[in-house]
């Protein structure tokens, strides 16, 4: 385990209302102990390619996002394409600044589609892990 692996603190994101106040809800580390190797609160910065197919148009983007250090490319791809994660989450204000589309106006296209209310964006959007931008483990803030 790496020397910079995050240690559980009193204001740690691993402390959840449903768990104990002195232990990580996800890996059970006590305050002062390092988080577990699989703990989802320990993340690194990755690049994901988003592809949006709307009508006969295809848009692509890069998304800089924190993912658990324990998730490999396959588990990231599974999470975004085959799990319960919903692509409409991309429209949230805290996500958008981390996504760079290959052309202007894509958010407007996606928002209009979403606002039309016919469905979420899962049928238009697919995501693919590209690379680690910075593999340094850090805590999710």
Chain residues in the site for Zn ion (CB under 5 A): 14, 24, 26-27, 29, 35, 39, 41, 86, 120, 122
Do the Cβ atoms of 14 and 42 come closer than 8 Å?
no
Q: With respect to Zn ion, which residue has the nearer C-beta, 43 or 106?
A: 43
CA-to-CA distance for 41 and 24, rounded, in angstroms? 9
Do the Cβ atoms of 103 and 59 come closer than 8 Å?
yes
Q: With respect to Zn ion, which residue has the nearer C-beta, 100 or 123?
A: 123
Least gap, CB of 29 to Zn ion (angstroms): 5
CA-to-CA distance for 136 and 63, rounded, in angstroms? 18
Q: With respect to Zn ion, which residue has the nearer C-beta, 66 or 120?
A: 120
Helix (H, G, I), strand (E, B) or coil at 122: coil
Least gap, CB of 71 to Zn ion (angstroms): 14
H helix runs in the chain, sequence order? 73-82, 106-115
Least gap, CB of 131 to Zn ion (angstroms): 25
Least gap, CB of 21 to Zn ion (angstroms): 14
Q: With respect to Zn ion, which residue has the nearer C-beta, 41 or 61?
A: 41
Angle at 80 between CA 41 and CA 5, to 5 degrees: 20
């Amino acid at each position: 385990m790496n020397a910079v692996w995050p240690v559980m603190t009193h204001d740690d994101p691993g402390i959840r209302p449903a768990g104990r106040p002195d232990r990580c809800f996800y890996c059970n580390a006590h305050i002062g102990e390092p988080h577990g190797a699989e703990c989802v609160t320990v993340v690194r910065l990755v690049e994901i390619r988003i592809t949006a197919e709307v009508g006969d148009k295809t848009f692509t983007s890069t998304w800089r996002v924190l993912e658990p250090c324990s998730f490999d490319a396959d588990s990231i791809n599974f999470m975004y394409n085959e799990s319960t994660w919903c692509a409409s989450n991309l429209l949230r204000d805290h996500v958008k600044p981390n996504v760079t589309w290959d052309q202007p106006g894509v958010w407007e296209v996606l928002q209009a589609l979403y606002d039309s209310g016919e469905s979420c964006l899962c049928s238009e959007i697919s995501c693919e892990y590209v690379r680690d931008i910075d593999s340094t483990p850090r805590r999710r803030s």
